[in-house]
Amino acid sequence: MESKVETPKKILTKKDITMLAIRSLYNQAAFNYQRMQADGYTLAILPMLKKVYGEDKEGLAKAMTANLAFINTNNYAVPFIEGLTASLEESHESREMIDTIRVSLFGPLAGIGDAITWFTILPITAGITASFAKEGSILGPLVFFLVYIGMFLMRIPIAHLGYNAGTKAITQINENMGPISHAANVLGVTVIGGLIASYVQITVLTKIHIASGHNLSIQTSFFDRIFPNILALSYTFFLYWLLKKKNVSPIMVIVITFVLALVLSWLGVL
C-alpha cells in the first residue's frame, strides 16, 4: 500500500492574509541602519506567527528572531514576501527554506517594485495631475489621491498572490532546495555587494602642493589610479573584521563610522 502524505492543516484564513497586507504599512515603522525594515516587517507578520505557532513559545521565538534579520525592499512589493512567508510558516517548512526564500526575494522585488511605483506610476500620475492642478481643476489632487489609494489597496491581492504561490510551490521548493539555496546565496552576495558599492563612498580631499598653481590630488592621482574605490572596499572589510572577529556590536560600528566621518571631515581629509 502507498503511504498517504498528510497535508498540513490550514490555520490562516483569507481575512488573516488581508489583515497581513494592511499591516504591511508597518514595514518602515522602525526603520534603522542595522536591520533596515526588519522591525516593521516582523511587526506586520507577528499576529500571523502567533496564530500559526499557538502554544509553541519556543517555535514562535525562533520564527521572530529569524524574521528580524536584515531586509530592505519596496513597500508595495513586501506584501508578496509576507504572504509567501505566511504560507511557509503555516506549513512548518524548514527554517533554512523560509529564510533562504525571503533573502532571495527582497532584493529583486525591491528593484522591480521601485521601477514600477516610484519611477513609473507615481511620476507619470504626478505629472498629469499637476497640469490639472495648475489649471485650477480639482481633478489634479483628486486623481492623484485615488491612484495612491489604489496602490494601497493593491497590497491585498499582492499578499494573497504570495500566500497562494507559496502554498502551491512548497513541493517543488522542497525538491529543489539545493539549487534554490545556492542561487539565493549567490543572489544575496550580489545584492549586498551592490549595496556596498552604492552606499559606501570615501573620497580623500587632501591635495599635495607641487608648485605654484599645481596641486596633486591624492584621490584621483593616487588611489583611483591604483584601485578605484579601494578605500570604500578596505573600510568595508575593516567593519566586517570588527563584526566577525572582534564581536563589536553593529551599533558601535555605526558610532565609529559616524565619529570618524566627523573628525576627518573637520580636518579636511575627507
For the stretch 13-31, pLDDT in tens is 999 999 999 999 988 888 8
Residue 5 binned pLDDT confidence (cut-offs 50, 70, 90): very low
How far apart are the C-alpha atoms of 9 and 159, rounded to whole Å?
Answer: 20
Give the global pTM: 0.66
- Which pLDDT score, from 0 to 100, does residue 64 have? 92
Angle between helical axes of 155-175 and 177-199 (0-180°, round to 10): 130
Tell me how crowded residue 39 is: count the other CB atoms within 10 A of its CB: 20
pLDDT in tens, 212-258: 767 777 777 777 788 878 888 888 889 889 888 888 888 888 888 88
| pLDDT score recorded for residue 50 | 93
Residue 71's DSSP bridge partners are 36
Query: Residue 130 pLDDT > 80, yes or no?
Result: yes
Mean pLDDT of the chain: 82
Distances (CA, A) of 27 to 3, 31, 75, 79, 91: 43, 8, 7, 9, 24
